[in-house]
Chains A and B, each alone.
Chain A
């Protein structure tokens, strides 16, 4: 215990100076991981202002609301009443949240990709051990992970609701099979929309332009295709090329359900999804290969 006669303890400022670093380095793996993590945080508004959190959290929240309601009803109502509730199928769930998904897609890609070019971060990223391709791969992985929140998460909750209600798949093998289809269908949608949103976002530095372009592309192209098919009597199966109808029908087909447009086949829907995925990825890659980072 110090007494008034004791000398005051001496505080010292220790200047550690500049220290060299001789420890291990994580090389490309570390760079990939930190870009992935930072991009996920950015897309979800984490470590950012409250305003930056509103849109992503609202979109994610809305996409979960129906599933949470269904789980709540099944869990809280008496068994007799719960048995009378007709839960939507996994494929039928997505039309409930279609608007939230489209909005989220139009927001995430531009946030993840355009911001780096707009703020000059791209030059700093590419001056690291990352190459253009590994940078884009990290960005795509982050975008897909964030989109998977709305394409895989809600059907997973629905699986919980079905199991609770006792109408879900029977036995561990049945649950595992359904789980695989839920994850697979959600992953296909996440990858498809990642490629499309990155392809469009690679064409402009401005997030608002990219978001508007994506909304137009998703909605208008689907409407245009519907009108074209109706006006020219083209086969309805061509709806597989629609960026809205095609993927949601593909999900129904993956789950073995009857698609909303019966003319769409699994192969046709998969081909449509693959075509859009390849096109978006190709546009994005070519754009970034040609980009002059320093000049």
Chain B
């Protein structure tokens, strides 16, 4: 008897044809989102529908069209069950100014069903984990933006959720604080075993921390998948470094009508699968020593720009 093939893993989040209007404003225009395990970046310009999507995933709003599954449940029908298993860190920085960080995090832990004693212990523990051990008894109003972002992360994970939604978690942070926050998010996703969806409009951040990405534009998903898939697109071309005189190589490539450009020692040859064969053949013909030869990995910024993505707001009629 042959063993059955393992079932594909259930996606953490799956939406199909989700449409959401806010009055006359179209926020989501048929978004098809599939998010797997690990850390996923939800990329998009301001107004592209990221925060609206979070609201729908939490069951805070009903979609006008389409279906949503979060952890296998429909949040429009089983909102409390979904929210009990999900942590959420909102975008805004305003938190109750006169409440101590540890009291705030404990309160959120209790909100998500932790018994009081357990919530008290975990609040302190999780604040230590995000680097606020000594600061945990300070009122939130006395904390810096970076510290508040950490408190928001702590409250989102205090109840040991399966999935955590982080809305612009690096907003307002300086470069050092941003690095620290990204490292923390990576820990949450990889060491703590919590799936993370991180919304951002900063491509570099997602590139550094995420395993996969979903790119939203004008309320629709224009690209999604694992980061390596997105970056190593078949239209990415080839990047190489040669040891000898590169001029004959330039001429040879250009004689085939294939564009290339040079950045320092690196030579970028544009094109698809054929570009790789062409480069290999010309290098062999010219007997040119090679230091490096690999498919060109596009940055997320290039992926983003290659789709012609400018502006963020969805337009009416985009759903059809």
Contact = CB atoms under 8 A, between A and B. Distances in A.
Interface of A: 15-21, 23-28, 30-31, 33-35, 38, 47-49, 52, 115, 118-121, 123-131, 292-295
Contacts of B159: 21
A127 B86 contact: yes
Given A20-B193, A119-B96, A127-B58, A294 B112 contact: no
B111 A27 contact: no
B80 A129 contact: yes
A30 to B, nearest CB: 5
Given A18-B191, A35-B111, A127-B86, A120 B94 contact: yes
Interface stretch (B32-40, B49-57, B276-284, B286-294): B49-57
Interface of B: 22, 27, 51-52, 54-55, 58, 60-61, 79-81, 83-84, 86, 88, 90, 92, 94-98, 103, 107-108, 110-116, 118, 122, 125-126, 128-129, 155, 157, 159-160, 167, 191-193
25 contacts: A16-B125, A17-B129, A18-B129, A18-B192, A19-B122, A19-B160, A20-B160, A21-B114, A24-B115, A25-B113, A26-B115, A30-B113, A34-B107, A120-B92, A121-B95, A127-B86, A127-B88, A128-B84, A128-B108, A129-B83, A131-B79, A131-B80, A293-B60, A293-B61, A295-B51
B193 to A, nearest CB: 7
A27 B113 contact: yes
Contact residues of A: prevailing secondary structure = loop
A28 B112 CA distance: 8
B96 A129 contact: no
A31 B110 contact: yes
A197 to B, nearest CB: 20
Contacts of B110: 26, 30-31, 33-34
Contacts of A292: 22, 55, 61
A72 to B, nearest CB: 36
Between A27, A47, A52, A119, the greatest number of chain B beta carbons within 10 A of the residue's beta carbon is seen for A119
A199 B228 CA distance: 53
A200 to B, nearest CB: 22
Contact of A294 (B52, B98, B160, B191): B52
Nearest to B82: A129
Contacts of B90: 120, 123-124, 127, 294
Nearest to B158: A21
A23 B80 contact: no
Nearest to B167: A294
Between A49, A125, A126, the greatest number of chain B beta carbons within 10 A of the residue's beta carbon is seen for A126
7 cross-chain pairs, A with B, having the tightest CB-CB distances, nearest first: A25-B113, A294-B55, A127-B88, A34-B110, A129-B80, A128-B111, A21-B160
Nearest to A293: B60
Nearest to A126: B60
Between A23, A115, A129, the greatest number of chain B beta carbons within 10 A of the residue's beta carbon is seen for A129
Given A21-B118, A47-B103, A129-B81, 4 more contacts: A119-B95, A125-B111, A130-B111, A294-B58
